[in-house]
Structure 1
C-alpha cells in the first residue's frame, strides 16, 4: 500500500477516534473532576474538611446527555439527603450498632427502588452507612460536608456538560435508521437472489439472520431514544432542529416491516431446507417471487437516498400483482403447496402498504 494512502487511512481513523462520543465524555469528566477538586478547597465552613466528595459528585453528574445529567444529579442529592435523615434518626432514637446499621441499609435499599430515584437511588444506603460509620461522633459536620461537597461537584459537572459541546445525538440516530433500512434491503436482495439459484441455494446466510434483524431494531430504537433525550435542555438543539416524531414513525414502520421480513424469511427457509417445518415453493413461482422481493428492497434503498418513492412503490406493486396472477394460474397444484407463496406475498403486500404510507406522508 502506498505511503500517501496509508497516511490518509491513518488520518481518517484518528479523526474518527477523536470525534468519538466516549472520548468527549471522558475529557469532560476529567475536566469536571479536576475543577471540582480545585473548588472544593474554597468552600468555607466544615465542608472544607471533606473536599474529596466534590470530585465524586462531578464524576456522577457528567452523563452522555444533559437531561440525564440533571436527573442523575438531582436524584443523587435527594438520595443523599434521605440517607442522612435515616442515619440521623438512628443517632437520635437508637445508636449505631450492627443491628441498626443493617436495618438502615435495608431501608435505604428499599427506598432506592422508588421510581423517583431511578438514577441515584443507591446513594440512600451509601449516605446512611457513611454517616453512621465514617461520621461517627462528628456525624453532623460530616453530613453537612458530605452533602455540600457533593452538591458542588454535581453543579460543576452540570456546568461542564452544558458549556463544553453538550451532546446532541440526532446524527447518530439518522445514521442508525439509514443503516437499518440498508440491512433490510440487503437482506431482501439476498433472498431474491437465492430464489433463482440452483436449489438448494449456495447463499444461505440470510436464513439465519432473523436474530440480527431484531437486535438491530433494538439498537436503533435505543439510538432514537437517546437522540430525543439529548435534545432536552440542550441549547444546541435550536441550531440543529430535527423532527424526531418523524424518526419515531420511521422506526415504528421499520420494526413492523422487520416482523414481516422475519416471517417471510422463515417461510422461504422452510420451503428450501424443509426446516423448521416442511413447505413447498413451486418452481414457476420462484422467479416472480424473486422479482417482487427485489422490487420491495429497491423501495427501501430509495427511501435511504431521500428520493421520491412513488415510482419504486408502483414498480413493486406491479411485481406483486404479477406474482398474484401467476399464483392464481396454479389451479392444477395442490392448494397446500401454494400456501407458502401466498403467505410470503401477504407479507410483501403489508411491507409495501407501509412504504406506500411513507410515500404519501413524504409527499404531503
Structure 2
C-alpha cells in the first residue's frame, strides 16, 4: 500500500502545474503553426527550395497575445523588405564582396534602429546578408520568396493563435497575490511604527524596504499588462469579461496603495 501523500500536497500537483503552464501552451501552438506553414509553403510553386522561411515566420511572430502576433508579423515583414532592398541595392552597386557585406550589416543595423520595427530590427541586416550571399544570380526572386514565405508563416501564426487563444489566469493571480502580500506587510509596519517616538530615523530605513515594494509592483505591472494584452481579441476573454476586469481592478487598487505607502515613507523621511 503506497504511503499517504503529505498534508496539503496533491498527487501530481507539480505535473498539473507544468502541463497548464502558459509556456507549454505557447510551445504547442508555435510547433503547430510552424508545421502548418511548412506544409503549405511546400505546395507553393517555385518556392519549395525556400519553404523553411515559412515556419521561421510562424516561430518569429508567435506570441501569447493574438494582437501581438499580428503586429509582429507586420514589423517582421517590413524589416525583411527593408533588408531585402538594401541587399539588392548593395549587390547592384558594389557586387558580392566582403566590403559590401560589411557595409550592408552596418547600414542594416542603423536602419533597424527605426522605433516602429520593434523586436524585428535584427531582421534588416539579416535579410540584407541573405539576399547578397544566398540569392546570388536570382536576388529579386529570392527576396520576394523570403518576404512572401515569412508573411505566410505570420498569417498561419495569427490563425492558429486566434483559433487557440491563451488566457492564463495563474501568472496574473500569482503576481497580484504577491503584490498584495507585500502591500500588507508595509501597511502593518507603517501602522505599528508611524507613531513611534523612539524611532529617530525614517520609516523607510527600518521598514521592509521601498525598493522591494517597487520591484514587486513592476513585476505585477508587467504580468498584468501581458494578461490584458492577451485578452484583446481573445474570444475566451469576450465570453468572461468580468474575469479580465476583476484582475485589472485588483491590480490598480494595489498600485494606488503602493503610491500612498511611498508617500508615507517620503513624509517620514522629511519629518522622522
Asked whether the 8 Å contact 2:90–2:100 carries over to 1, the reply is yes
Counterparts in 2 of 1:4 and 1:33: CA distance versus 1, 3 Å = same
Residue 58 in structure 1 maps to residue 58 in structure 2: yes
Counterparts in 2 of 1:109 and 1:221: CA distance versus 1, 3 Å = same
Q: How many Å apart are 1:190 and its aligned residue?
A: 4.9
Higher gyration radius (CA): 1
Counterparts in 2 of 1:206 and 1:21: CA distance versus 1, 3 Å = farther
**Other-structure match for 1:28:** 29
- TM-score under structure 2 length normalisation: 0.83
Counterparts in 2 of 1:254 and 1:208: CA distance versus 1, 3 Å = closer
Q: How many Å apart are 1:259 and its aligned residue?
A: 1.2
The correspondence for 1:253, drawn from 248, 251, 256, is 256
**Other-structure match for 1:223:** 223
Residue 41 in structure 1 maps to residue 42 in structure 2: yes
More moved, 64-73 vs 248-257: 248-257
**Other-structure match for 1:157:** 157
Using the alignment, how far apart are the partners of 1:248 and 1:181 within structure 2? 9
| 1:2-21 → structure 2 map (5 Å cutoff) | 2-5=3-6, 9-21=10-22
Q: How many Å apart are 1:221 and its aligned residue?
A: 1.2
Asked whether the 8 Å contact 2:105–2:128 carries over to 1, the reply is yes
Using the alignment, how far apart are the partners of 1:59 and 1:97 within structure 2? 31
Asked whether the 8 Å contact 2:112–2:122 carries over to 1, the reply is yes
Using the alignment, how far apart are the partners of 2:30 and 2:172 within structure 1? 24
Counterparts in 2 of 1:10 and 1:187: CA distance versus 1, 3 Å = farther
Q: How many Å apart are 1:130 and its aligned residue?
A: 0.5
SS of alignment partner, residue 118 of structure 1: helix
Q: How many Å apart are 1:232 and its aligned residue?
A: 2.1
Residue 184 in structure 1 maps to residue 187 in structure 2: no
Q: How many Å apart are 1:33 and its aligned residue?
A: 1.8
Using the alignment, how far apart are the partners of 1:195 and 1:163 within structure 2? 54
Counterparts in 2 of 1:63 and 1:73: CA distance versus 1, 3 Å = same
1:125-164 Cα offsets, whole Å, 9 max, x none, are: 1101100011112222322222222122222222221112
Using the alignment, how far apart are the partners of 2:264 and 2:170 within structure 1? 26
1:267-321 Cα offsets, whole Å, 9 max, x none, are: 5xxxxxxxxxxx9xxxxxxxxxxxxxxxxxxxxxxxxxxxxxxxxxxxxxxxxxx
Using the alignment, how far apart are the partners of 2:257 and 2:12 within structure 1? 35
- TM-score under structure 1 length normalisation: 0.63
Instruction: State the aligned residue count.
Output: 262
